């Protein structure tokens, strides 16, 4: 490691540090096991509010967002126990002590909004401050509230809080204006205890929604059509408990696939569901990257500089918006000019200025980014603007010439468990500042 650095460095787990130091230019080699999906475990944790019985979740990654959701649920009265070594989370909502979600956890994490549906379903009321999370757009919740209103809920806004009430939710036929993941998830949870069946048209089809549906099915409600635009829910009068294994995280997998590609490496990903990554694998192959796939593993072998491509983010099964920043880093080094169209979020380009500091040639026009690929990026001091933008900067730094200093590590820790130590195990020269 260069002796020019005067920051006390450790390769410890990185808890509490705010800077990552990366020496670029080393191809990543080896194998890595993918962890449970953040965007599946968070709604499933919220769904534990539906039942007074014990639920056991396996493959729960040790993430900042999981800790935040745990704190939020404990505040509501849920018993929550997490064992880091086994990655097992036990929850039991015997009694709900309050229906008010405090400002702190809600401000830090968008997924907090997912407690509205289950609280309304179980308690008939919920009070939550307007959600926070990544700064990647306005992040409205109108589709959540419109769908819950169709089920009989009413809402008032007071002192920055949404106050929701519904003496008894009733099943409804709801058509979403947009296949919102969170709105689909909130409505699925609300429908699980409502009076009568619910149908959600134009529902989100993400694997995280399918995993939540399987969990709700385990509690006793009957969910049909998850993974398609039309989902139906037959409620359960007395929900039970049980054990559920969370699906592998396709976004973590995609992030590590790009890490292999951008560093010119050869990495085997284990514990993946390859069919959840069809759009990502196709796009990497279009870039000239070699991908060997089996149902539960993916091997990514870079073959020289990537080719430029056109990329458009779409709801699942289209190309995932959560991998757009990481692909932008890869395309910054491609041969030719690439165009990215970000159709899901209106401001998901906060990582561009930092990539430009590393030498990337990126021009923004509305929701599109035009990237002129270069033979190399330069190490620089940069700041992670949000979770996936931070991951993109880490990948760019692994490929760049020289040393990068990445600030704002807390964003990365929200959604990736021990990412830096796992990249180090693949040969990445990463140090915790």
Instruction: Say whether residue 167 binds ligand EPZ (CB under 6 A).
Output: no
Give the nearest distance from C-beta 208 to ligand EPZ in angstroms.
6
Q: Of 68 and 274, which CB lies nearer to ligand EPZ in the complex structure?
A: 68
Candidate ranges 73-81, 133-141, 157-165, 279-287; the one touching ligand EPZ (CB under 6 A):
133-141
Which two tokens mark 166? Answer: 């519904």
Q: Do residues 23 and 428 touch, judged by C-beta distance below 8 A?
A: no
Residue 134 annotated among the catalytic residues of the structure: yes
User: Measured between alpha carbons, how far is 231 from 109 in angstroms, rounded to an integer?
Assistant: 26
User: Measured between alpha carbons, how far is 145 from 152 in angstroms, rounded to an integer?
Assistant: 10
SS3 200: strand
Contact string 337-366 vs ligand EPZ (x = CB under 6 A)? -------xx---------------------
Which residue, among 282, 279, 284, has the nearest Cα to 258 in the 3D structure? Answer: 284
Give the nearest distance from C-beta 147 to ligand EPZ in angstroms.
9
Q: Of 142 and 292, which CB lies nearer to ligand EPZ in the complex structure?
A: 142
Maximum pairwise Cα distance, the chain: 68
Instruction: Say whether residue 39 binds ligand EPZ (CB under 6 A).
Output: yes
Instruction: Say whether residue 5 binds ligand EPZ (CB under 6 A).
Output: no
Q: Which residue lies nearest ligand EPZ, judged by its C-beta? A: 182
Give the nearest distance from C-beta 179 to ligand EPZ in angstroms.
7
User: Measured between alpha carbons, how far is 185 from 189 in angstroms, rounded to an integer?
Assistant: 6
Instruction: Say whether residue 187 binds ligand EPZ (CB under 6 A).
Output: no
Instruction: Say whether residue 178 binds ligand EPZ (CB under 6 A).
Output: yes
Candidate ranges 79-87, 132-140, 163-171, 417-425; the one touching ligand EPZ (CB under 6 A):
132-140
> How far, rounded to the nearest angstrom, does the alpha carbon of residue 177 sit from its chain's CA centroid?
22
Instruction: Say whether residue 144 binds ligand EPZ (CB under 6 A).
Output: yes
Contact string 85-124 vs ligand EPZ (x = CB under 6 A)? -------------------------xx-------------
Contact string 303-332 vs ligand EPZ (x = CB under 6 A)? ------------------xx----------
Q: Quick one: CA torsion of 139, 354, 14, 27, rounded to 10 degrees?
A: 120
Contacts of ligand EPZ in 190-209 (CB under 6 A): 204, 206, 208
Give the nearest distance from C-beta 343 to ligand EPZ in angstroms.
9
Terminal CA-CA length for the chain:
13
E strands of 279-413, at which residues? 290-294, 297-301, 310-313, 337-342, 361-365, 368-372, 381-383, 403-407
Q: Of 151 and 302, which CB lies nearer to ligand EPZ in the complex structure?
A: 151
Candidate ranges 92-100, 137-145, 190-198, 268-276; the one touching ligand EPZ (CB under 6 A):
137-145
Q: Do residues 198 and 186 touch, judged by C-beta distance below 8 A?
A: no
Q: Do residues 43 and 417 touch, judged by C-beta distance below 8 A?
A: no
Give the nearest distance from C-beta 379 to ligand EPZ in angstroms.
25
> How far, rounded to the nearest angstrom, does the alpha carbon of residue 345 sit from its chain's CA centroid?
14
Give the nearest distance from C-beta 314 to ligand EPZ in angstroms.
10
SS3 276: helix
C-alpha pair distances (Å), 3 with each of 7, 9, 403, 404: 10, 11, 12, 14
User: Measured between alpha carbons, how far is 343 from 368 in angstroms, rounded to an integer?
Assistant: 9
Candidate ranges 13-21, 34-42, 88-96, 226-234; the one touching ligand EPZ (CB under 6 A):
34-42
Residues at the site binding ligand EPZ, with contacts judged by CB under 6 A = 38-39, 42, 110-111, 134, 137, 139-144, 178, 180-183, 204, 206, 208, 321-322, 344-345, 387-388, 415
Active site residues: 134
């Amino acid at each position: 490691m260069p002796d020019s650095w005067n920051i006390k460095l450790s390769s410890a787990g990185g808890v509490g540090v705010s800077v990552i130091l990366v020496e670029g230019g080393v191809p990543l080699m080896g194998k890595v096991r993918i962890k449970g999906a953040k965007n599946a475990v968070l709604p499933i944790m919220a769904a534990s509010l539906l039942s007074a019985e014990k639920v056991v979740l396996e493959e729960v990654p040790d993430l900042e967002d999981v800790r935040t959701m745990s704190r939020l649920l404990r505040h509501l009265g849920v018993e929550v126990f997490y064992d880091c070594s086994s990655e097992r989370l036990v929850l039991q909502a015997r009694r709900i002590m309050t229906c008010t979600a405090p400002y702190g956890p809600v401000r830090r994490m968008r997924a907090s909004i997912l407690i509205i549906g289950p609280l309304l379903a179980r308690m008939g009321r919920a009070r939550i401050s307007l959600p926070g999370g990544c700064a990647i757009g306005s992040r409205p919740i109108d589709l959540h509230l419109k769908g819950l209103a169709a089920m009989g809920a009413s809402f008032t806004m007071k002192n920055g809080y949404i106050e929701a009430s519904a003496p008894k939710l009733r099943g409804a036929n709801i058509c979403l204006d947009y296949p919102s993941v969170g709105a689909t998830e909130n409505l699925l949870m609300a429908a699980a205890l409502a009076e009568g069946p619910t149908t959600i048209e134009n529902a989100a089809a993400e694997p995280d929604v399918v995993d939540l549906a399987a969990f709700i099915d385990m509690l006793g409600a009957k969910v049909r059509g998850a993974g398609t635009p039309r989902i139906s829910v037959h409620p359960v009068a007395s929900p039970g408990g049980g054990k559920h294994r969370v699906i592998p995280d396709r976004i973590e997998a995609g992030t590590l696939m790009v890490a292999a590609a951008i560093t010119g490496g050869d990495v085997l990903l284990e514990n993946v569901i390859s069919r959840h990554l069809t759009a990502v694998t196709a796009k990497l192959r279009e870039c000239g990257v070699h991908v060997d796939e089996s149902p539960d593993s993916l091997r990514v072998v870079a073959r020289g500089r990537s080719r430029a491509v056109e990329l458009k983010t779409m709801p699942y099964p289209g190309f995932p918006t959560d991998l757009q920043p990481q692909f932008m880093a890869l395309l910054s080094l491609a041969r030719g000019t690439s165009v990215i169209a970000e159709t899901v979020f209106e401001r998901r380009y906060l990582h561009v200025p930092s990539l430009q500091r590393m030498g990337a040639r990126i021009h923004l026009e509305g929701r599109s980014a035009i990237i002129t690929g270069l033979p190399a990026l330069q190490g620089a001091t940069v700041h992670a603007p949000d979770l996936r933008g931070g991951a993109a900067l880490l990948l760019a730094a692994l490929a760049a010439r020289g040393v990068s200093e990445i600030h704002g590590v807390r964003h990365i820790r929200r959604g990736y468990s021990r990412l830096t130590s796992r990249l180090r195990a693949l040969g990445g020269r990463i140090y915790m500042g």
